[in-house]
Structure 1
Amino acid sequence: MASKIAAVAITRNGIRLALKLGGLLADTEVYCYAKYSGELGEIPGERRIFDGPVKELLPGLFRRYEAVVLFFSLGAAVRLMAPLLEDKRHDPAVIVIDESGKHVISVLSGHLGGANRLTLHIARLLDSRPVITTASDVQGIFAADLLGREFGWQAESFAPMKGVSAALVNGEPVAVLQEAGEMGWLPAGAVLPEHVRLCGSMAELQQQPCRAAVVITDRLLDEADAAALRGLPAAVYRPRSLVLGLGCNRGTAAAELEAVVMETLAELRLSPLSVRGAATITIKGDEAGLLELCRKFGWELNLFTPEQLNTVPLKQPSAVVFKATGAYGVCEPAALLASGGGELLLAKKKSGNVTIAVARISFGGGREETENE
């Protein structure tokens, strides 16, 4: 998909405005109704002409674009969209702009689809009034379903989001426990509401009289955690806080590397969703199995020279590894370097053709950083 945004206009004024937006907003393709497009040939800007009903055009746009901007009435937009809707995780962002350009309205997928953010941007470009009705945005609080999105955090499940969001916007007590990940997760302009309590442990969370919970952790929750959260809508977020130091014999298959990684994470009770990337020595930068593993999971691959690896003190430096690579160790120092000097959770484990170490990134800051954003 070359462009992310489709702008659709069916009137003279709408086409003028859509072409103006197309010139101001990158990655936008403008669709113009043929009947009036020819009359406006003097207006610069590339355009795609359509002469059939808009209802026949929209299904394809919904599949191909991340956002659709409609330059006609809100009522018409709602009627046209209704048969196309799936759910908030799959529907594109939809924005409606009246043909005079007075109002830019976020209609669909305001949070996950980014319609609210795009609405504000378009309103600035067109000097229009943004209209956003999402409760969390109106109140200036954080959205439960967008937490840590800019950092790549993943929600373990979206099932609890409705309950957590309802508690947030209705002023009910919500407990937040953060054990890992970036601290400054409040979006710009948002505040931590008085009814949201930050907890330092699961035991402290359990003592809170809360109606919902948010847990930010790279740990797999155990039975005690489940008991603490039982009966609550609880959103569990997985920050990208883990780095895998990997070493392997030449030609090790991706399947063997993956099996060792998943087995090790399970033993450590850590979530694979929290892995940011892998790290190894430069001579392994062309290792096919390692590259395939990283591609499969979208992990970064950090490569370090023997000199860089040797700057990390090791309790058990290996003369054998040094003879083969020029470094006294690979997986352990690679994990520590890639984590920025974080916490080593697993010093070294050898399994078959693979050696692995695991480190947790230290993001710094503290509870005050989030509270005072």
Structure 2
Amino acid sequence: MNKAIITLTKGGMKLGLKLLNSIDQAVLYVHPRFYMECENIKKIDGKMTEFIGKIFHKYRCLIFIMSTGIVVRAIAPYIQDKKTDPAVIVLDERARNVISLLSGHIGGANDYTKKIAKMINANPVITTASDVNESIAVDTLAMELDCEIEDFYDATKVTAHIVNGEKVGLISDIFIDKEMPLNIIKVDKENIDDKFKGLIYISEKNINKPIGIDCVVLRPKNIILGIGCRRGKTEEEIINAVEDTLNILKLSKKSIKHITTVDVKKNEEGLIKAAKVLKVPLIIVDRKDIKKVESQFEQSEFVKKQIGVGAVCEPAAFLTSKAGKMLQKKKGYDGITIAVFREGE
């Protein structure tokens, strides 16, 4: 379950049941007075503010059917950061209005609000400036393109320029099949002038930002690291090798989509911990799949005798990169090998 519907009244419960039957992955919390034993219906446990504290980060979206004032007071102690706070939506029990209250862009509250309003024929209330002006915020753009924002303060400044109708340049190393507001203009690095109030870079590469223009960098998740290692290599050794590789290639750590290795290394503690430090998945590739493509890469007879395939990092990265482009052939780091691919389209 990733959505919680919360209500305190009998009328709110009636609307809550309607939503519960229409929304996937949802649970309904009701006041104990109106509780009925039914699948996906639970009691509100204890005082409202304390109860919200227990569930605030348990769900991706909290849908309240009650007064906005009650909701604001209940969630206030637990609001931390728009990068991690859940979407919060408020409905009146007559189903007249659906209000996007918190995490409108990154949390998805604006999209949830529109969907719920359409579902129950209500009025969607969205107050974020980019939506009101039918423009786009940098965090929304990043989410739609599956990019990570390098600096949220920079994103806020550039979003302000977009919403104010000022000229913003877009410099992208990835293909963007999306219609942009008229004041966001696709340019290359050589055509930047002082007419631009802001710049959006979308790249996995290190960026030298021009002075005097507000800039934000969005990192696409398109770098695949194939890693092979001797048994017992530590998390620190692997991370150091990864960082050295990225520095040489002038690539951002934030653009790593995943690291990948062969099935015999799936329980290698150093690799597992390194993936957690990098906050990326560890993708395991079966040897039978590597055998199908290993002839395309340099092989080691020693490795073949040990594990049955003559190459690990290059074929593993190739197979999990949608036949992407190799940016670095196998490079050795004292018992660790790393190959780098840029994901294919």
Please indicate the TM-score interval, normalised by the length of the shorter structure.
0.7 to 0.9
Partners of 1:270 and 1:65 in 2: how far apart?
A: 34
| Compared CA separation, residues 354 and 54, structure 1 to 2 (3 A) | closer
Q: Report whether the alignment pairs 1:298 with 2:298.
A: no
| Compared CA separation, residues 318 and 57, structure 1 to 2 (3 A) | closer
Q: Which has the higher contact order (CA 8 A, sep 6+)?
A: 1
Q: Report whether the alignment pairs 1:236 with 2:221.
A: no
Deviation of 1:44 after TM superposition, in Å, equals 6.2
Kept in 2, the 8 Å contact 1:85–1:91? The answer is yes
Partners of 1:81 and 1:63 in 2: how far apart?
A: 11
Q: Which amino acid aligns with 2:220?
A: P
Kept in 1, the 8 Å contact 2:324–2:344? The answer is yes
> Pick from 193, 204, 219: which aligns with 1:207?
193
Which residue in the other structure is 2:206 paired with? 220
Which residue in the other structure is 1:156 paired with? 150
> Pick from 16, 19, 37: which aligns with 2:17?
19
Kept in 2, the 8 Å contact 1:335–1:357? The answer is yes
Deviations 1:30-49 (A, max 9, x none): 232345x26xx5x9665433
Q: How large is the Cα RMSD of the aligned pairs?
A: 2.8
Partners of 2:38 and 2:232 in 1: how far apart?
A: 56
Partners of 1:272 and 1:178 in 2: how far apart?
A: 18
Deviations 1:170-212 (A, max 9, x none): 11111111124x634x4xxxx3111111123x333x3362111
Deviation of 1:150 after TM superposition, in Å, equals 5.2
Structure 1 gap ranges (5+): 364-373
Kept in 2, the 8 Å contact 1:19–1:44? The answer is no
- Length-normalised TM-score, structure 2: 0.87
**The residue matched to 1:237 in structure 2 has which SS?**
strand
> Pick from 120, 131, 139: which aligns with 1:145?
139
Partners of 2:313 and 2:115 in 1: how far apart?
A: 44
Kept in 2, the 8 Å contact 1:302–1:338? The answer is no
| Compared CA separation, residues 5 and 310, structure 1 to 2 (3 A) | closer
**The residue matched to 1:136 in structure 2 has which SS?**
helix
**The residue matched to 1:310 in structure 2 has which SS?**
helix
Q: Which amino acid aligns with 2:218?
A: Y
Q: Which amino acid aligns with 2:148?
A: Q
Kept in 2, the 8 Å contact 1:22–1:45? The answer is no
Partners of 1:44 and 1:24 in 2: how far apart?
A: 16
Deviation of 1:9 after TM superposition, in Å, equals 2.0
Which residue in the other structure is 2:99 paired with? 105
> Pick from 114, 117, 131: which aligns with 2:125?
131
Deviations 1:288-336 (A, max 9, x none): 3323323443224141534223242x4x554444444454433233333
Pairs aligned (count):
342
- 1:311-330 equivalent positions in 2, closer than 5 A: 311-312=295-296, 314=297, 316-330=298-312
Partners of 2:240 and 2:283 in 1: how far apart?
A: 18
Kept in 1, the 8 Å contact 2:223–2:340? The answer is yes
Kept in 1, the 8 Å contact 2:142–2:149? The answer is no
Partners of 2:88 and 2:322 in 1: how far apart?
A: 40
Partners of 1:282 and 1:4 in 2: how far apart?
A: 32
Q: Report whether the alignment pairs 1:197 with 2:185.
A: yes
Q: Which amino acid aligns with 1:310?
A: E
Instruction: Give the percent of matched residue pairs that are identical in Structure 1 and Structure 2.
Output: 32
Which residue in the other structure is 2:327 paired with? 345
Q: Which amino acid aligns with 1:335?
A: A
> Pick from 113, 116, 128: which aligns with 2:110?
116
Partners of 2:101 and 2:26 in 1: how far apart?
A: 18
